[in-house]
Amino acid sequence: MLRHLFTLIWNRKRANALLIAEIFFAFVVLFVLGSLLVDSYRRYTMPLGYQYEQVWYVAMDPGNEPAARQDATFLRVIRSLKALPGVRSVSTTLYNTPFSFSDSSGDIKVNGRNANCDRYAGGDDMADVLQLQLAEGRWFDRRDDAATRKPVVISSETRAALFPAGPALGQIITSTNTTDGEMQVVGVLATTYRSRGEFQKPKPAYFRRSQPLLADADTTHLDKPLLLVRVQPTATAELEQRMTKEIAAVSGGWKAAVTTLPEERTIRMKFALAPMGAMGLVGLFLIINVALGLFGVLWQTINQRRAEIGVRRAMGATAGRISAQILGETLVVTTFGLGLGLVVAAQFPLLGVMDMKTGVYLTAMLLATGLIYALTTLCALYPSRLAAGIHPAVALREE
């Protein structure tokens, strides 16, 4: 049976070559789109490294208050917010807070190794505000007030890049950023830290200590004092209003804007999902076009082979065998097209195209292969049933 199918396919090699080419290109496009979507799903299921629920972002505007007085005012604001009922902890922060659209990065070096890292700043309460878990060492505290070098907490990716086999705690690392300079590792996060959301690729990162004074150069970015506040689960919009009023009263007129991190995450997700939605529409458009093309080719093929099918029926072939023949030819042609496509797809992990893990490519190959087989089977079922329903006397009389 299989040898007979190959013979029939070879006899119609010109028409089948076009079908093979169509399946090949459809597979390659679906494989690329599948790789991007599978990689995005893999990132989505990875831990963020922090808890954003019940965390509020507070941006303050000192207005025309002299810079010399802002430090003391900022400290009073922090103390007053910590005393508010419903507030659990308060921490100073940099402008690149979770889900923001601001980034800061730089290279760090140690013992001949270097890594490009996202850089963040956090106060002594940042670990509690974002529920950061440490695998080694500790978070910042008052012991760092007298430190000769700036304390730093690194992420698990940074540890793997700089200290793959040896100890990390106590090591001196050097940053190319002039603000950081030499830093000493006091802690290692247990997981990754992805401030840009679920679809961010894991990247080395480190936290430097953010002093509760605006004299810290990084804290004064854009001339706005910034805070992250963890509130109790029962907190409502009433607490938000109380916070803005408290800040205005304590500071003597500072304006404050409060945004919840879940709201920031929603905005970030919309920007991340838009291109994926576009890719999904492209994939759907491709699938529809391939389906229509296959259906049209098979329909035309059956009309051109009515005499052949009539002779086979006259010689005793059952309707089931005719249907199986058409379906079998379609699947064999599909296999040729997929074989060529798999050869091309296998080059992606070998050459490191798109910089994804091998498992992502393999999953995308399986999904694209299964989708193409399912599509061609569905497109061949109805034409094969039409072929099986051809009456031999009618077909021979038409011929």
- The reported pLDDT for the residue numbered 355 is 85
CA pair distance 341, 145, nearest whole angstrom: 61
* CA dihedral (19, 299, 15, 316) positive or negative: positive
pTM of this structure: 0.81
Residue 201 CA, chain-centre distance (Å), reads 6
How far apart are the two ends of the chain, measured CA to CA in Å?
Answer: 26
- Alpha-carbon distance values, 156 to 113, 137, 150, 192, 310 (Å): 16, 13, 19, 6, 70
Strand (E) or helix (H) holding 66 = none
- Alpha-carbon distance values, 56 to 26, 157, 365 (Å): 46, 27, 42
**pLDDT under 70 in the chain at which residues?**
1-15, 178, 211-223, 301-320, 322, 383-399
- The reported pLDDT for the residue numbered 330 is 80
Q: Are strands 113-122 and 205-209 parallel, antiparallel or unpaired?
A: parallel
Tokens of 330: 């379609």
Q: How many CA atoms lie within 13 A of 214 on its CB side?
A: 25
Q: Are strands 150-154 and 182-189 parallel, antiparallel or unpaired?
A: parallel
Q: Which amino acid is at 195?
A: S
